[in-house]
């Protein structure tokens, strides 16, 4: 029996569990994560478990969050992708981050398309936002391939200057 909440051709998306703490620790301490997303205070496996607990609180409050993205054929965790409610956009925000060895293989694109499809069909959202670090070219290019359009710049507490993107579903 699968614990996937939804799937794509190669990927399954599910909520994080305690067993995910080691790779979530690795992801949160990846140089690209630290540069483009920022330090989220995940400095140990125990901190990663707290991060997972906060993720569950987001799901409990909003009904959506960041899902673990796995390859279906071997259940290998690749990263996270999902919807966040930051309370400032009036709509959910698409977020994604993938382990270094999973980048450049189309997983982020496939997972994001699955999340966008779910946002429209299951949650009935009519538009989504996304923010990205202005120097994160791969993520900016992915958002544009997904149909997002640059809307301007945004300054958020604890974050450097971000670029705001918007997508109509």
pLDDT at 160 over 60: no
User: What predicted TM-score, i.e. pTM, was given to this entire model?
Assistant: 0.92
CA–CA separation, 28 and 37 (whole Å): 9
Strands 11-14 and 6-7: what pairing?
Answer: antiparallel
The ranges assigned to domains in the chain are: 6-168
pLDDT, tens digit, 9 for 90 and up, residues 81-109: 999 998 888 899 999 999 999 999 999 99
pLDDT at 147 over 50: yes
pLDDT, tens digit, 9 for 90 and up, residues 21-69: 999 999 999 999 999 998 999 999 999 999 999 999 999 999 999 999 9
- The count of other CB atoms within 10 Å of the CB of residue 110 is 17
pLDDT of residue 19: 97
Q: Which CATH class name applies to 6-168?
A: alpha beta
């Amino acid at each position: 029996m699968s614990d996937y909440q939804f799937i794509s051709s190669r990927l399954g998306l599910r909520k994080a569990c305690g067993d995910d703490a080691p790779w979530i620790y690795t992801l949160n301490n990846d140089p690209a994560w630290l540069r483009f997303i920022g330090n989220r205070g995940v400095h140990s496996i125990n901190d990663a478990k707290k991060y997972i607990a906060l993720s569950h609180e987001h799901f409990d409050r909003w009904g959506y969050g960041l899902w673990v993205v796995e390859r279906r054929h071997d259940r290998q965790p690749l990263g996270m992708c999902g919807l966040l409610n930051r309370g400032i956009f009036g709509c959910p925000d698409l977020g994604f981050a993938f382990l270094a060895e999973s980048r450049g293989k189309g997983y982020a694109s496939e997972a994001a398309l699955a999340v966008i499809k779910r946002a429209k069909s299951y949650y009935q959202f009519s538009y989504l936002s996304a923010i990205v670090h202005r120097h994160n070219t791969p993520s900016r290019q992915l958002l544009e391939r997904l149909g997002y359009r640059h809307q301007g710049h945004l300054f958020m507490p604890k974050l450097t200057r971000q670029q705001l993107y918007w997508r109509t579903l």
